[in-house]
Structure 1
Amino acid sequence: MSAVTIKPFEVVIDPADVADLRGRLARTRWTDWLPETGWTYGTDETFIKRLCSYWQDGFDFGAFAARLNAYPQFLAEAHGERLHFYHVRSPVATARPLVLVHGWPGSIVEFLDLIGPLSDPEAHGGKAEDAFHVIVPSLPGYGFSGPTRHTGVNVERTGAMIASVMETLGYSRYFVQGGDWGSIVTSRMAQDYPQAVAALHVNMAPGGPNNPAIPVEGLDEAEAAEYARLGQHMAIDAAYAFIQSTRPQTLAVAMNDSPAGLATWIIDKFYAWTDHGGDLESVFDFDHLLDNLSVYWFTGTAGSSFRLYHENNFRTVYAHAVVDVPTGVARFAGEPFRWPRSLVERTYRNVQDWQELPHGGHFAAFQRKDDFLRVVRGFFASQAL
């Protein structure tokens, strides 16, 4: 492990940056929309204009900073890059360390409402035996980790950075949990550092040796249908990933210059990857959506977040070698990236818990806090460090 330095961190939002954001939103040069097309061509006109109007005139930026500063934060220098993270030690003596890793287009805000119940369950109606020391990193290039400084910051290096920080914090064994890129990063950590990663839980479980050309021989009818749905989704909704993996800097200029453009690009995925019956506000209020967008905007990391796609081969990054540590899988009904179980178990060879959730989507921790807590607590309760 490389040397790591760690220092305390606090989010400070410059009033001049807030004024600049509001000015840019006020001067948005909106495009045209075809009438009555809703979300069929992409982000809905009425929704995004209402959201941006609230971001300009209704969103409380002081309360946003206070939410981010509610728990201890730190900056680490590791492997030549910066890593921002929360480190919240539990008051419970028997608590065990748990790393939670987000993906794109999410951020550490997905876990803010979970840090308290996980670290101090008794204060939130839970049991002391469910307590964890909680570590929540911002992926390199995301949010307060700041833009990446070098090429080559891929999944392997990201896992190495987090593992180095955990070692520096004094944790020789710990649990990891992730969704989206977080599932890829934590899976790679389980593969590379099985002596440290005691157990893994994911709410997106890729499977098979390749993607999208995963062999389907041996799948039963239900699994073949599920794999066909995955293929259809990838065919119609993966263009964002190919753009971000092939031309991240080209897209970055637009995202870094226009908050309305950034919002439109990201909100499209919250709509597409969440079960909401056509009403995104029924599962995410504007404040939560804007907490996430504001992290990207004020840190100027939309473009550097795209680089994770470029630094990994998007077509094959889902193909881990093998993960042998005890693994729990939670599949929320609205998750679009769903691999058949027999393919998942080619990659994760020690699946000990498989949960099918009737509600929730890709941003499970953000959308379905109680369900997420239940399945994560339940799985790790059965695991030893």
Structure 2
Amino acid sequence: MQPFTLSWDADRLAWLRERVRAYRMPRLPEGAGWRYGCDPDVLRDLCAYWLDGFDHEAAAADLNRFPQFLARNEDLDIHVVHVVGEAQGKRPLLLTHGWPGSVYEFWQVIEPLAFPSRFGGRAEDAFDVVVPALPGFGFSGKPRAPIGPRTTARLFDRLMREELGYARYHAQGGDWGAGVTTWLALDHAASLKAIHLNYLLVQPDAEASTEAETRWRKGAQDAQARLGAYADLQGTKPLSLNYAMADEPVAQLAWLVERFHDWADLRERPFEAVFSKDTLLTNALFYLATDSFGTATWYYAGARAEGARRMPEGTRVTVPTAFAAYPDPRTLAPPREWVERGYAVTRWRDMPRGGHFAAMEVPDLFVADLREWARG
């Protein structure tokens, strides 16, 4: 475990800014909006702000508010944020992000989870918060070949037990983080007290048999057809995307920001009210400033190779499982009966708002839900 201070490489930043200035927009259909991809007007505005308004040093200072380390794990360095809160080692909580997120997904919730008394909460609800970056993402090391959530679960369990000294812990995740958390429960159950999911990535070894399950499966397939082309490409031919995106930070930014728009809960707030320019650019720098856009997309191919989206035949999660059903446009929450086919569901909450990026979109709801869950 080596202490780590986040900083942007000055030469890399200068090169990125040069590429942004030189970028020429392709021919675009009139009034495109978000219909065919990232809204051109939003992208232009973001690029202009990146060049003339975004404060890279202020972003780095904010990202260094919490203690961070690099932990050598097998043949990879894992970047990990580790905040020992009022729990003083008594309630470790592993938070795992997804794509196109980063450890920054949890920046608004780390302090309230670790130090609830600072936010009007109870000290006894505090966690020791651990937020590692997925392999190939951000400041974590880049694997030699694609790996997925099952391999990551092994790495993160070793991180928690051997590097940080937590014999047992709570774990939470959405998106790929939900996959990592589920595989922790399947392969390393003895390490876990309970798990919390806000996305169902690893499906039960079962077929839909009720009207509600069939309707949900049809809705999930429709959502994949509308929003999932990126996943099919990244899961089968990530290098084709990598070749096209190499040395094109504006294209990478558009690819990332499109998901934030399409997967956010925008029923009550416009996109710019949910995610500020500073938020979008800070998260994007975890890909662009570290040259990890490509290796992050490998994760989809790694998951396919591991068969990580479906439980092995005859298995189920026996670790107590909580599920927070947010109104996620990426894929609507499944019926509880379907989740119970593969998970020992002990808690279920239908959340009133918040989409795919729950910790970023509705941090107060996210924190309150985790506190209530851990009390049980």
Give the TM-score normalised by structure 2.
0.94
Say whether residues 1:279 and 2:274 are aligned partners: no
Equivalent residue runs for 1:1-385 within 5 Å = 6-93=1-88, 95-148=90-143, 150-151=144-145, 153-168=147-162, 169-206=164-201, 208-209=203-204, 215-217=207-209, 219-220=210-211, 222-277=212-267, 279-313=270-304, 316-321=307-312, 322-337=316-331, 338-348=333-343, 350-382=344-376
> Residues 153 and 308 of structure 1 are in contact (CA less than 8 Å); yes or no, is this contact kept in structure 2?
yes
Q: Secondary structure at the match of 2:129?
A: strand
Deviations 1:92-142 (A, max 9, x none): 447400000000000000011111111111112211011000000000000
Cα distance, 1:186 vs. partner?
A: 0.8
Question: 2:63 & 2:193 partners in 1: Cα distance?
Answer: 29
Question: 1:40 & 1:68 partners in 2: Cα distance?
Answer: 33
Instruction: In structure 2, list runs of 5 or more residues that go unmatched.
Output: none
> Residues 171 and 194 of structure 2 are in contact (CA less than 8 Å); yes or no, is this contact kept in structure 1?
yes
Provide closer, same or farther for how the CA distance between residues 316 and 123 of structure 1 changes in structure 2, counting only shifts above 3 A: same
Q: Secondary structure at the match of 1:231?
A: helix
Deviations 1:148-203 (A, max 9, x none): 2x225222211111111111211000000000000000110011111111100000
Cα distance, 1:242 vs. partner?
A: 1.1
Question: 2:270 & 2:306 partners in 1: Cα distance?
Answer: 32
Question: 1:237 & 1:69 partners in 2: Cα distance?
Answer: 34
Deviations 1:28-53 (A, max 9, x none): 12112111121111111111110111
Q: Secondary structure at the match of 2:222?
A: helix
Question: 1:171 & 1:315 partners in 2: Cα distance?
Answer: 27
Matched residue type, 1:144:
F
Question: 2:80 & 2:275 partners in 1: Cα distance?
Answer: 24
Matched residue type, 1:308:
Y
Matched residue type, 1:239:
A
Question: 2:261 & 2:360 partners in 1: Cα distance?
Answer: 14
> Residues 202 and 308 of structure 2 are in contact (CA less than 8 Å); yes or no, is this contact kept in structure 1?
no
Matched residue type, 2:288:
W
Instruction: In structure 1, list runs of 5 or more residues that go unmatched.
Output: 1-5
Matched residue type, 1:299:
T
Deviations 1:336-383 (A, max 9, x none): 3232322211121x101111112110010111100101111111110x
Q: Secondary structure at the match of 2:34?
A: coil
> Residues 176 and 201 of structure 2 are in contact (CA less than 8 Å); yes or no, is this contact kept in structure 1?
no
Question: 2:306 & 2:232 partners in 1: Cα distance?
Answer: 9
Question: 1:316 & 1:250 partners in 2: Cα distance?
Answer: 22
Question: 2:75 & 2:319 partners in 1: Cα distance?
Answer: 29
Provide closer, same or farther for how the CA distance between residues 73 and 208 of structure 1 changes in structure 2, counting only shifts above 3 A: closer
Aligned to 1:3: none
> Residues 140 and 146 of structure 1 are in contact (CA less than 8 Å); yes or no, is this contact kept in structure 2?
yes
Cα distance, 1:316 vs. partner?
A: 4.9
Give the number of aligned pairs: 370
> Residues 93 and 130 of structure 2 are in contact (CA less than 8 Å); yes or no, is this contact kept in structure 1?
yes
Question: 1:63 & 1:314 partners in 2: Cα distance?
Answer: 40
Question: 1:323 & 1:69 partners in 2: Cα distance?
Answer: 36
Q: Percent identity?
A: 38
Matched residue type, 1:240:
Y
Give the TM-score normalised by structure 1.
0.92
Cα distance, 1:226 vs. partner?
A: 2.8
Question: 2:41 & 2:137 partners in 1: Cα distance?
Answer: 28
